[in-house]
Amino acid sequence: MEILSFTLYLIIFLISSAFLLYFKRNETPKPRKSLRLPPGSMGLPWIGETLQLYSQDPNIFFSEKQRRYGEIFKTNILGCPCVMLASAAAARFVLVTNAHLFRPTYPKSKETMIGPAALFFHQGNYHSNIRKLVQNSLCLGSLRNLVPHIETAAISAAESWAAAGHVINTFLEMKKFAFDVGILAVFGKLESDYSEKLKENYCILDKGYNSFPTRLPGTAYSKALSARKKLREILGEIIMERREKRVTERDLVGHLLSFRDENGGILSEDQIADNIIGVLFAAQDTTASVLTWILKYLHDNLKLFEAVRAEQMDIYRRNGDGKMPLSWAQIKDMPLTHRVVLESLRMASIISFTFREAVVDVEYKGFLIPKGWKVMPLFRNIHHSPDYFPNPQIFDPSRFEVAPRPNTFMPFGNGVHSCPGNELAKLEILILLHHLLTKFRWEVVGSQSGVQYGPFPVPVNGLPARFFKQTTANQ
């Protein structure tokens, strides 16, 4: 059953459910009579417009809705009535100025997989406390200390791709690299035995995360649940050892273990484990997707590639032709490469939207967002709006020579729930790019157009490519 895609599972489930629920009353919440709902279509009873969304490029679905109804419209996805918001002002309203009116929401199966105590499932004091711990573990000093370790991981990864001698799935290899960096950020130095066990079981969990949530034996979801249980056991061993040693580390585990609330309470092992898994999850797919897109964009634009490579080669030569490690100052002085990263984040818009749920009836621009409805700020629509980014379909890093308007560029979210690891992500991307551009080259194989969603957008087939080690710096 693993060979069935998530989409096929979804369609089978929805069609079956449609027959069972055809005659049932639609349980969409009734709006207050004093305000009207946003324009839009709710689709079929219960199913809504789920099939339309999942049977085409979701960007077409969202952009067509915006063209037809404007910046705020309603729909029904997976049995949930939704309000979608496609403007910077609307996104700020939900994520920043009125964040207390909208709680983070995820499907129950996702919470089960990662762990209900993970940071991004909460709001209020618990969320604030955990977020501070994550931010403190990724402060400026900690990131500086991680540079040589990330550089070692980057060189090792690139060497392995070149040594393979065959076509690799770039996205899958980038996921492995991002996971290794996540391990460094969470645990610092970790015994290789523990690291391999975590990687093995996380890989199984990752494969089942977006599968259809059935517990039937042999399914990807069932295997993922078993792997989740093993991950908890492994993390329990690591936590116990760290507590017994009573050594205060500056990594995330150290911060979680050292936490005391205002009453002297500590975090439980389940809370620590859930947040470790949550951080590893957040650190992997999104960063890997962006790295894959960057290689694609550079491959497709030779002039830009040469300009970015020239910037990196200047640093390479100043470091004795790569004999010295990268310094913090050098990483912070890569203006063109940094703009390429930002433009890749905008163009790819890995996080196309985010889920919130109205905790009370909310009015926005004369429309009602009823309590219990899902609310989805559409980052991709905002990033691709000509109102904020002229000629948005053109890859143009120079647009970031001037900072974008507030609330128009949100690759890591916005407000209190924005990604606290965004600086780590940019750091590992810049370090890997430096070594790929100065010591290696790559050739994309097969189709060079098309996008697939799983759920994050990546070049078709994960950007199959061959990597080669350059024999001289001038090649």
What number is the average pLDDT over the span 4-28?
44
Average pLDDT, the chain: 89
Please state, as a whole number, how many other Cβ atoms lie within 10 Å of the Cβ of residue 329: 7
What number is the average pLDDT over the span 6-17?
47
Residue 60 to residue 44: CA distance in whole angstroms: 20
Q: Which residue has the higher pLDDT, 362 or 210?
A: 362
**Percent of the chain at pLDDT above 70?**
91
pLDDT value of position 45: 81
Residue 28: band (very low, low, confident or very high) from pLDDT cuts 50, 70, 90: very low
- Give residue-wise pLDDT tens across range 247-304: 677 899 999 999 998 889 999 999 999 999 999 998 888 899 999 999 999 999 999 9
Q: Which residue has the higher pLDDT, 299 or 9?
A: 299
Per DSSP bridges, beta strands 72-77 and 168-169 are unpaired
What number is the average pLDDT over the span 241-247?
84
> Of 469, 470, 442, 431, whose CA–CA distance to 296 is shortest?
442
What number is the average pLDDT over the span 431-445?
96
- Give residue-wise pLDDT tens across range 118-167: 998 898 899 999 999 999 999 999 999 999 999 999 999 999 999 998 99
> Of 46, 87, 47, 39, whose CA–CA distance to 65 is shortest?
39
pLDDT value of position 23: 38
Give me the residue spans of the domains in the chain.
Answer: 1-114+351-383
Fold designation for 1-114+351-383: 3.30.43
Amino acid (one-letter) located at 355? F
Residue 17: band (very low, low, confident or very high) from pLDDT cuts 50, 70, 90: very low
- Give residue-wise pLDDT tens across range 103-114: 998 878 888 999
Residue 419 marked in a binding site: yes
pLDDT value at 196 more than 60: yes
pLDDT value of position 72: 95
Sorted by sequence, the CB contacts under 8 Å of residue 316 that are 6+ apart come out as: 322, 434, 438, 473
What number is the average pLDDT over the span 75-99?
92
- Give residue-wise pLDDT tens across range 339-380: 999 999 999 998 888 889 999 999 999 999 999 999 999 999
Bond prior to 455 in cis (omega within 30° of 0): yes
pLDDT value of position 116: 93
pLDDT value at 2 more than 70: no
Residue 179 to residue 406: CA distance in whole angstroms: 31
pLDDT value at 7 more than 60: no
pLDDT value of position 32: 52
pLDDT value of position 472: 57
- Give residue-wise pLDDT tens across range 372-425: 999 999 999 999 999 999 999 999 999 999 999 999 999 999 988 888 999 999
pLDDT value at 238 more than 90: yes
Residue 130 to residue 133: CA distance in whole angstroms: 5
Identity of the highest mean pLDDT range in 18-27, 329-338, 409-418, 452-461: 329-338
- Give residue-wise pLDDT tens across range 327-340: 999 999 999 999 99
